[in-house]
Amino acid sequence: MKNLLFVLAAAAVAVPAFTNANGPGGGKSGSPASNGQTCSGCHSGASISTQSVSITTDIPSTGFVPNTNYQITVTNATGGASNPRSGFQASVESAGHQGSLTAGTGSKLVNSNFVTHTSSSIAVSNGQAAWTFTWNSGNAPDGTTIYVSSLFANGNGNDNGDAVATQSLALSRSTIGLDEPQLPVGVSPNPARDFVGLELPEGLMVVRAFALSGAEVYRAAGFDGMRIPTADWPNGAYVLDVRHADGRQFRERIQISH
């Protein structure tokens, strides 16, 4: 019996030095929905010195548009500190969770609205650990924010001596939309294949088209009876934008299907 107790004690000492190596439960991103709770709820003992957290996205400078998938990357950098393990938890919120999250390689969802690391992705390599996941914007409002809490673990065999950092990134919603008032503009065909024809009123105007990512794909001076060539556009939805010199505008979503 004594030998068995010794074996169990030795096994306990050998447990890896990273609390929640497979990710904590939800509500640790430092966000309002987390009640401000972070990784420091389980880890403590060290202050941030050279370590840093960055949040990057592929959202265009014009802002995100509704119901569109975007990639979010969280990068923990040690800055030379001795932290062989690192982890994170993130959420996207504005008066509650916004849109939906899909985990990427080395991450997983917890409580549906938080994304965190897994045990396969906590090793620091060349001073960094990074995770990329997908956010669908749904109908998120302007100012929706990504919240991240990150852990830099010292590998000492327990949950003390570890440093915790937080970061956030506010997102802008694109102003490209379907707003009133509108010019009297005729659009056909829609859906379209090789071209979109426009019936325009008199006056100087600019005609533009945008992908839902916010990227401008077409711009020209407008005139009645003009045709916008779309044969080379990828299939999908676009926003047609017509601006008159007197300030009036027209916006309509068009669908391209080859």
pLDDT tens readout for residues 170-222: 999 877 655 544 688 999 999 999 999 999 999 999 999 998 877 889 999 99
Please state which CATH number belongs to domain 16-170. Answer: 2.60.40
For range 110-139, the mean pLDDT = 93
CA within 13 Å, CB half, 102:
9
As beta bridge partners, residue 221 has 206
Q: How does pLDDT run across 17-32, given as a tens digit for each residue?
A: 444 676 677 789 999 9
Preceding peptide of 189 cis, ω within 30° = yes
| CATH 1.10.10.10 for domain 186-256 | no
Closest Cα to residue 213, out of 199, 182, 234, 197? 234
For the chain, what are the domain ranges?
16-170, 186-256
| Reported pTM | 0.65
Closest Cα to residue 123, out of 103, 152, 165, 102? 152
**What span, in angstroms and rounded, lies between the C-alpha atoms of 41 and 162?**
11
Q: What H or E segment, with its residue span, contains residue 11?
A: helix 2-13
Asked, colleague to colleague, whether 16-170 and 186-256 share their fold, the answer is yes
Q: Which residue has the higher pLDDT, 177 or 10?
A: 177
Cβ neighbors of 59 (< 8 A, separation 6 or more) are 70, 171, 214
- Tokens of residue 177, six digits: 């939309």
Q: How confident is the model at residue 35 (pLDDT cuts 50, 70, 90)?
A: very high
As beta bridge partners, residue 76 has 53, 129
- Tokens of residue 48, six digits: 């941030």
Positive or negative torsion for Cα 201, 205, 207, 213:
negative
- Tokens of residue 188, six digits: 């056909």
Torsions phi, psi for 70 (to 5 deg): -135, 150
% of the chain exceeding 70 in pLDDT = 87
**What span, in angstroms and rounded, lies between the C-alpha atoms of 70 and 72?**
7
